[in-house]
Structure 1
Amino acid sequence: MNNRAFLSLGTNIGDRLANLQMAIHLLHSQDVITIEKLSSIYETEPVGYTDQPAFLNMVIQISTSLSAEELLELCLSVEQKLGRVREFRWGPRIIDLDILLYNQDNIESEKLIVPHPRMHERAFVLVPLIEIDPTICFPGSDRPLEKVLSSMQEREGVRLWKPNSGEEGFGLSES
């Protein structure tokens, strides 16, 4: 498993913590994925369509033998298993899985753009990502994402909801 990827997870419908736990469990149950690191969980106000409940967001670092496209298909499958319905852009969701970074690759296809095209605009993505790896840079750049975050205005809209308590909160500690 020689590919390193960072995934963003978000939820604002139902039992939000259980939604995150279940998504991570489904990813962890795949032989082709090893979950390396988990961020804390952050609560954030919705972006785009704002007439909806607050989100819980987090980032995980994985290693995988999957290609980026195969990883996207797996993420979409996890969303579908958990009941994700895509009614409209930026609408409420039971779970949302996005590939933020895949190695240091720049990928642009019909189905997938990596790095995630809006991640540098979203504190709710950058805060947990930088928590996992404060030295991480945007692919093709030597500018740490921490510098991007420090220049953002809406960072205060990202509130720590549950500190990272290690893997036990997600059923990953049994090795």
Structure 2
Amino acid sequence: MERVYIGLGSNLAEPRQQLHSALQAISALPHSQLLGVSSFYLSDPLGPADQPRYLNAVAELDCALEPLQLLDALQVIELDQGRVRKAERWGPRTLDLDILLFGQRVIDEPRLQVPHYHLHARAFVLYPLAELAPQLTLADGRQLSALLAACPFTGLQRLAPNDTNNSLAWR
């Protein structure tokens, strides 16, 4: 089993429900155990500004699947929840599931880069990740605390647990 962190995001079709449904599906993955979920965060969209704000979170799990097996399973969850992959990058979507970290592995494959290639610059990933693993050291030696110090909490709004009905049920 390896410790894996997955970023979740949605800004279409009831984002709160999208994240809850994704968490249920992640918790049912074979050879995996969902350990925790961060608070939900509202974040400004990347890319086109004429789209709704995103709802984001990070899930922590122990996983015995290989990285590409997990990626395939996550993409099935996205498709099951109405994800349509378009040529436009950073556009609106029902669900986005990204493998952020996979144990201490560094993966550079055409379909998968781990640590996630923009992890260091995305407050909507770093701050929820810090809730789950504040002392985290990435496989490349970078400290999560140093990444947080270089990435301001701009454009984020952490939702209180009673606003999200999320993290307490998953810890």
* Structure 2 counterparts to residues 154-173 of structure 1, below 5 A: 155-163=153-161, 166-168=167-169
Please name the residue that 1:30 is paired with: 29
Find the aligned partners of 1:137 and 1:104 in 2 and give their Cα distance: 9
Q: Residue type of the partner of 1:97?
A: L
Q: Which runs of 5+ in 2 are unaligned?
A: none
Please name the residue that 2:19 is paired with: 20
Q: Does the 8 Å contact 1:38/1:132 carry over to 2?
A: yes
Find the aligned partners of 2:166 and 2:10 in 1 and give their Cα distance: 19
Please name the residue that 1:81 is paired with: 80
Q: Could you say if the C-alpha distance between residues 162 and 15 of structure 1 is closer, same or farther in structure 2, counting changes exceeding 3 Å?
A: farther
Q: Residue type of the partner of 2:94?
A: I
Q: What RMSD, in angstroms, separates the aligned Cα atoms of the two structures?
A: 1.6
**1:149-174 CA deviation, whole Å, 9 max, x = no partner?**
11224x22111124375443xxx58x
Q: Which range is displaced more, 27-36 or 102-111? A: 27-36
Q: Percent identity?
A: 35
Q: Residue type of the partner of 1:84?
A: R
Q: Does 1:131 align with 2:131?
A: yes
Find the aligned partners of 1:73 and 1:156 in 2 and give their Cα distance: 32
**1:17-52 CA deviation, whole Å, 9 max, x = no partner?**
100000111111223221011100000010122210
Q: Residue type of the partner of 1:121?
A: A
Find the aligned partners of 1:33 and 1:162 in 2 and give their Cα distance: 28
Please name the residue that 1:70 is paired with: 69
Please name the residue that 1:3 is paired with: 2
Find the aligned partners of 1:65 and 1:53 in 2 and give their Cα distance: 35
Find the aligned partners of 2:149 and 2:156 in 1 and give their Cα distance: 13
Q: Which runs of 5+ in 1 are unaligned?
A: none
Q: Does the 8 Å contact 2:120/2:151 carry over to 1?
A: no
The normalised TM-score by structure 1 is: 0.90
Q: Residue type of the partner of 1:116?
A: H
Please name the residue that 1:105 is paired with: 105
Find the aligned partners of 1:66 and 1:34 in 2 and give their Cα distance: 11
Find the aligned partners of 2:74 and 2:150 in 1 and give their Cα distance: 31
Q: Residue type of the partner of 1:5?
A: V
The normalised TM-score by structure 2 is: 0.92
